[in-house]
Structure 1
Amino acid sequence: MCGIAGFVNDTSAEEKTAVLKRMTDIIAHRGPDNEGHFVDERVALGFRRLSIIDLQGGDQPIFNEDSSMAITMNGEIYNYRELRRQLIDLGHTFSTESDTEVILHGYEQWGHQVVNRLRGMFAFVIWDRGRGELFGARDHFGIKPFYYARMGGTFMYASEIKSLLQHPDFHKELNTQALRPYMTFQYPALPETFFKGVFKLPEGHWFTFRDGKMDIHQYYDPAFGESKQDLKDLVDSIDQTVQDSVKAHQVADVEVGSFLSSGVDSSYVAALARPRHTYSIGFGKGTYNESDQAGELASILKLNNTTESLDGDQAFSYFPQIQWYMDEPDSNPSCVPLFFLSELASRDLRVVLSGEGADELFAGYVDYGVHTRSRIIKDVTRLLGRLPRKARYAIGRWAKGKHFHGAWHLYANLAPAEESFIGQAKVFDEDEAGRLLKPAYRKAPRVSEITGRIYARLKGRSLSELKKKQYLDMHQWMPGDILLKADKMTMAHSLELRVPLLDRKLMDVAEKVPTKYLITDQNTKFAFRKAADRHIPREWSAREKLGFPVPIRDWLHQERYYRLVRSMFEQEWVSEFFDQQALLRMLDDNYAKRNDARRKIWTVYSFLTWYDVYFIHDGTKPELLDLPA
């Protein structure tokens, strides 16, 4: 696990070297063990290393046999040993034992198709000196980030945006279209980031850059469909594939631990991995702290569990740093506990396993259609769901906006997913966001345009509404929020996070699960939980998803934190973006318990904290925030 950065332009090698050094220094947290640079008359490749595999010989850049190609890579390839044997049989000579070198020789052998053979998480670039071409790719699901920009005659790329800011050709400007969608989605929802001109390479894509031209191509897309598997065969397949994936994700030359919450996903992973160390975290006692339940499971499984309890002072003190590490504003409350959980694990380890991915692959979210506890409503909805598509769509649309019990359940399950579902987070209604924003920030793609571009890829495919929702989350919510915060919060502490439940081979199983075994009257993620039953107690496998519960509501009702947030909302520059009086009124009414606007307040506060860090204070890593007495 590492950080990469680089650029292509015509400046001198001496100038390139100085700039590249600044670009890699700013992301030293991604790779504190070593750094490597390659510079010639056209390109600069930079690298920061966190040593996980081939501790002595895996420094980058790595070159092929005749030094005509060089690679830098951020990530891990779990099938690299198998590929290495194939390439040696084909005549390639290796100089290291690293997984990175496998990609390089694989590119020599198979060209762009090498990405289809990789199992793992990665973002890499290969410089072909003879062709004067840069080739790069991002992994199938977007586990590892890759940003790029073209400014001032320079093509630049990096694992983190803050690295790009160090380049003299970088022009820093706020992308005014990013704010309104963010207020609805809670995360950066556009291909172009909050920094004007900086883009994310999409998950499952590769690119070439040559003679000033960039070409981007998709190489992977989950092929959701249906099968007629019976439940036992399906559960057998899920369990065997999860076991195989967890084993593959433990390949390392250092110790591998695991995060452990009270939920089924991390519990299943930890039960299979049996690491020497697991880690849990929470806030205070009771509802917002899952560490007690995690500790119980660790005791049952005879695992060592380390836990810590957090408080609001820690959260607010470190919050500006959290937004600095994130690069773009993200108001997912779980960023906060994940930041501290990563620091806790990093005291002992360099690598941990986690449970991200299972909710998207196996339908673990209640927003996929679980909006009532009434068996009668569920039975009626199931019967109506057997009607022809036009009829059930009509009933679903009729239920929209109705106020009888079960109306929302009918709408969410019978109306087209394209109309009823935008993903896992909806903070502001977009019209409400528009009213709160100043006119210059209202002009942005509509939510329906953002999700519609993804839904459009499914045209002509016969999928259940539930599988359409999964598909949207795989391409919007997961890379835009879940995986991004997982990468940034762990790498902030030089900790590699591996996600064995988000794996190519497991996706091959998940995409064909019959819809009836995804969500049932018993639970979400039904078939997956049946597989987990074989390894953890039913109390854990059946537990409802909590995520990382964070006491934002309680914080905003405490005067010291309310005053802290209000002091940010009162800043003069805030009026550039928002109707400041309406913003303050919303905060004051929440404090007085006349409304419950905690998620909206937190979303605005996250953006303003990020803007303060990157624009008011020019992107300098902030000190800890002094809290009022």
Structure 2
Amino acid sequence: MCGIAGIVLAQNEEVNAQLIRDMNQALFHRGPDEGGVYLGAGVGLGHRRLSIIDVASGQQPMLSEDQRACIVFNGEIYNHQLLRQELIELGHHFNTTCDTEVILQGWLAWGPKVVNRLRGMFAFAIWDQAQQQVFLARDRLGIKPLYYAMLPHGELLFGSELKALQVHPQLPNELNPQAISDYFSLGYIPEPKTIFDQVYKLRPGHTLTLNQGTTSLPNSECYWDVSFAPSAASAPESSEPAEPLAQPLAQQLAQRLRDAVDIHLEAEVPLGAFLSGGVDSSAVVAMMAQLQSEPVNTCAIGFDVADFNETEFAEMVAKRYQTNHRVATVASDDFALIDKLAYFYDEPFADSSAMPTYRVCELAKQQVTVALSGDGGDELFAGYRRYQWHLREERIRRLVPEVARKPVFSLLAKAYPKADWAPKFLRAKTTFQAIARDTVEGYFHNFSIFSEAQKSELFSEQLKAQLGDYRSISVFNEHYANFDGADSLSLVQYLDLKTYLPGDILTKVDRVSMAHALEVRVPILDHELVEWSAKLPAATKLAKGVSKAILKQALEPHLPQDVLYRRKMGFAVPLCRWFRGPLKDKLHHALSSGCIAQSQLFNLDYIKQLLEQHSSGLRDHSAALWALLMFEAFLAKQQAASVTQSDSAVASALA
């Protein structure tokens, strides 16, 4: 696991060597073991290395023997040994045993199609001197990040994190109004946008090729997408699975999961796993324990609030497989990380579970350099409770004609009181609002932090004028246009795989793990397992109210029933209590007199209303207030960076 950075000039001029070194240094935390820079005609590449495979060699940037091509690479290729043998048979010679050289030789053999042969997580850049072009690529699911921007005079910048690009003094820093709108809907900024106008994330499953001399950004090209098109074995959405579920499918799933975990175990450094006590992380640990002779190193984070603590279930799995298990307890007032999150994420990021994720990475790093995670199981096997709610709403949509549904349920939504304090099944206002919408908009509405109506109250007139008629639902509609499945469950799974998974879950883990120089691998997101699971009938994933039904059946021989069939808890923090207790004063001060108040982006009277309603207990606005607090932290970071840059400019002028 590493960090990469680069500059490609429009002309064969000399790259500012100190600038590429500074960009590289900004990523030191991602690769503290080694660092290197390549300088060529009109190009500079930087690399920070966290040594995992072929520790003795494999340094980057790596040049081909004929000096034609140079690569910087972040990630792991799990089929590199098979590809190496294929390339040797084609006449290629290798000087290392690392996966980096396999990609480089693969480029020389297959060109851009090399990405189709890679099995793993990756973001890389290859400078091809002979073709005078740079090739950028990102893995299929977006496990590894890659940012890029084109400066007005045709200079391409790229890097693993925004902070590497921000080192460049000419990087545009104007905020993107659409990204702001998306953030307050989703809690993150979806690909390809970033918080900055003219700065982008490379989409998962995409590549970008730029010929030197080109002064405008070409469109990225998609090389992979997951298909939910029904196969011959698929059943209609309404069908009920047999009791028990088709055993051959469950057995296949167990074997495929085992194979995916197996290929993720290669490392020359200590390796372990996160063990939350949930189904997905427990499944990964169970497979690891059966594949290696040494006890698995596992770690878990507990909370001193019972409603948020699931370590007892992690202990069940740890005892069953005799793992080297470590647990750390996070106090309910452990919010010291709030001011650091803006630095880790570079742009607004409102998933509060980033804090316990940071702590579990901190704990893991004390034992290991590589940790396997269970991320991806909820998206692949329908583990989120919102999927069940969505299907219930879909049944009503199908029963009531649209001509009657929209006016009737819109009227009911207006008449029904808002009841944040009540259990979800009593929050009919939110349900009525969702049913009045179409399928995609209803799903989008169900987990939006702020609805479009609420954003209209939150945003200033200036920001609303900049947004014009833009609506964040367009993010989902764009992906919906590419969906090839036939049922409602597959649709929302697809939408999550394209948005929530890379934008929130994988971003969250990448930044806080890299903050500790810890590599996190996600075997459930092995693309071959993803492709296979997408073809499973919807009724095998949600069966008679049981989420992840086929996964749980597949794991029955491997995990305790109490772990498999308990109520899902999630990895949350007690925000509501914090904002009415120990964080109340900090929150009110930050949102009333901080950078948000000075930004002219928001309606401060509406923010005051949110604060008062939450503090009084009238409403639970914890998610909305957290999103605002994280945006405030981002603005404060930007303001501090501007002051630092100004001071540096003055110092340079006086020197």
Work out which of the residue numbers 300, 307, 325 in structure 1 matches 2:344: 325
Write the distance in 2 (CA, Å) between the matches of 1:74 and 1:462: 32
**Aligned to 1:126, what secondary structure does the other structure show?**
strand
Question: What residue is the counterpart of 1:446 in the other structure?
Answer: 471
Q: 1:92-107 residue pairs with structure 2 within 5 A? A: 92-107=92-107
Shift of 1:41: 2.1
The superposition leaves residues 283-324 of structure 1 with CA deviations (integer Å, 9 ceiling, x where unpaired) of 213112222321232122211211111135542x22121221
Deviates more, 1:228-237 or 1:200-209: 228-237
1:425 aligns with 2:447: yes
Q: 1:293-308 residue pairs with structure 2 within 5 A? A: 293-308=313-328
Q: 1:159-178 residue pairs with structure 2 within 5 A? A: 159-178=160-179
**Aligned to 1:22, what secondary structure does the other structure show?**
helix
- CA-based RMSD of the aligned residues comes to 2.6
Where structure 1 has 5 or more consecutive residues not aligned to the other structure, the ranges are 373-377, 622-629
Shift of 1:82: 0.5
Shift of 1:418: 2.1
Question: What residue is the counterpart of 2:625 in the other structure?
Answer: 601
| Aligned partner letter, 1:538 | Q
Determine if contact 1:324/1:613 at 8 Å carries over to the other structure.
Answer: yes
Write the distance in 2 (CA, Å) between the matches of 1:209 and 1:232: 49
Q: Rate the CA distance shift 1:399–1:2 in 2: closer, same or farther, 3 A.
A: farther
Question: What residue is the counterpart of 1:624 in the other structure?
Answer: none
Question: What residue is the counterpart of 1:506 in the other structure?
Answer: 529
| Aligned partner letter, 2:221 | H
| Aligned partner letter, 1:263 | G
**Aligned to 1:543, what secondary structure does the other structure show?**
coil
**Aligned to 1:457, what secondary structure does the other structure show?**
coil
Write the distance in 1 (CA, Å) between the matches of 2:15 and 2:63: 23
Question: What residue is the counterpart of 1:120 in the other structure?
Answer: 120
1:529 aligns with 2:552: yes
Question: What residue is the counterpart of 1:89 in the other structure?
Answer: 89
The superposition leaves residues 99-149 of structure 1 with CA deviations (integer Å, 9 ceiling, x where unpaired) of 011111111111111111111000001110111100110000000000000
Determine if contact 2:9/2:156 at 8 Å carries over to the other structure.
Answer: yes
Q: 1:240-259 residue pairs with structure 2 within 5 A? A: 240-259=255-274
Q: Rate the CA distance shift 1:476–1:441 in 2: closer, same or farther, 3 A.
A: same
Q: Percent identity?
A: 35
The superposition leaves residues 515-535 of structure 1 with CA deviations (integer Å, 9 ceiling, x where unpaired) of 111112241111111112221
Shift of 1:276: 2.7
Question: What residue is the counterpart of 1:217 in the other structure?
Answer: 221
The superposition leaves residues 592-624 of structure 1 with CA deviations (integer Å, 9 ceiling, x where unpaired) of 212211111111111111111123444989xxx
Shift of 1:511: 1.0
Write the distance in 1 (CA, Å) between the matches of 2:439 and 2:142: 23
Write the distance in 2 (CA, Å) between the matches of 1:363 and 1:565: 35
Write the distance in 1 (CA, Å) between the matches of 2:620 and 2:562: 32
Q: Rate the CA distance shift 1:494–1:568 in 2: closer, same or farther, 3 A.
A: same
| Aligned partner letter, 1:526 | A
Write the distance in 1 (CA, Å) between the matches of 2:531 and 2:499: 20
The superposition leaves residues 336-357 of structure 1 with CA deviations (integer Å, 9 ceiling, x where unpaired) of 1101111111122110000111
Q: 1:275-424 residue pairs with structure 2 within 5 A? A: 276-315=296-335, 317-370=336-389, 400-401=409-410, 402=412, 416-422=438-444
Question: What residue is the counterpart of 1:31 in the other structure?
Answer: 31
Question: What residue is the counterpart of 1:137 in the other structure?
Answer: 137
TM-score by length of 2: 0.87
The superposition leaves residues 150-171 of structure 1 with CA deviations (integer Å, 9 ceiling, x where unpaired) of 1142100000000001113313
Determine if contact 2:409/2:436 at 8 Å carries over to the other structure.
Answer: no
Shift of 1:569: 1.0
| Aligned partner letter, 2:222 | Q
Question: What residue is the counterpart of 1:626 in the other structure?
Answer: none
Shift of 1:207: 1.2
Determine if contact 1:152/1:169 at 8 Å carries over to the other structure.
Answer: no
Write the distance in 1 (CA, Å) between the matches of 2:226 and 2:152: 37
Q: Rate the CA distance shift 1:254–1:75 in 2: closer, same or farther, 3 A.
A: same
Q: Rate the CA distance shift 1:585–1:522 in 2: closer, same or farther, 3 A.
A: closer
Work out which of the residue numbers 474, 486, 501 in structure 2 matches 1:478: 501
Where structure 2 has 5 or more consecutive residues not aligned to the other structure, the ranges are 235-244, 290-294, 417-424, 646-655
Determine if contact 2:541/2:550 at 8 Å carries over to the other structure.
Answer: yes
Q: Rate the CA distance shift 1:311–1:441 in 2: closer, same or farther, 3 A.
A: farther
Write the distance in 1 (CA, Å) between the matches of 2:352 and 2:30: 23
Question: What residue is the counterpart of 1:20 in the other structure?
Answer: 20
Determine if contact 2:33/2:51 at 8 Å carries over to the other structure.
Answer: yes
Determine if contact 1:280/1:294 at 8 Å carries over to the other structure.
Answer: yes
**Aligned to 1:554, what secondary structure does the other structure show?**
helix
Determine if contact 1:10/1:41 at 8 Å carries over to the other structure.
Answer: no
Deviates more, 1:505-514 or 1:30-39: 505-514
Question: What residue is the counterpart of 1:72 in the other structure?
Answer: 72
Question: What residue is the counterpart of 1:625 in the other structure?
Answer: none
**Aligned to 2:103, what secondary structure does the other structure show?**
helix
1:614 aligns with 2:638: yes
Write the distance in 1 (CA, Å) between the matches of 2:603 and 2:357: 32
Shift of 1:391: 7.0
1:563 aligns with 2:564: no
Shift of 1:398: 7.7
Shift of 1:423: 8.0
Q: Rate the CA distance shift 1:295–1:96 in 2: closer, same or farther, 3 A.
A: same
Write the distance in 1 (CA, Å) between the matches of 2:219 and 2:601: 35
| Aligned partner letter, 2:439 | A
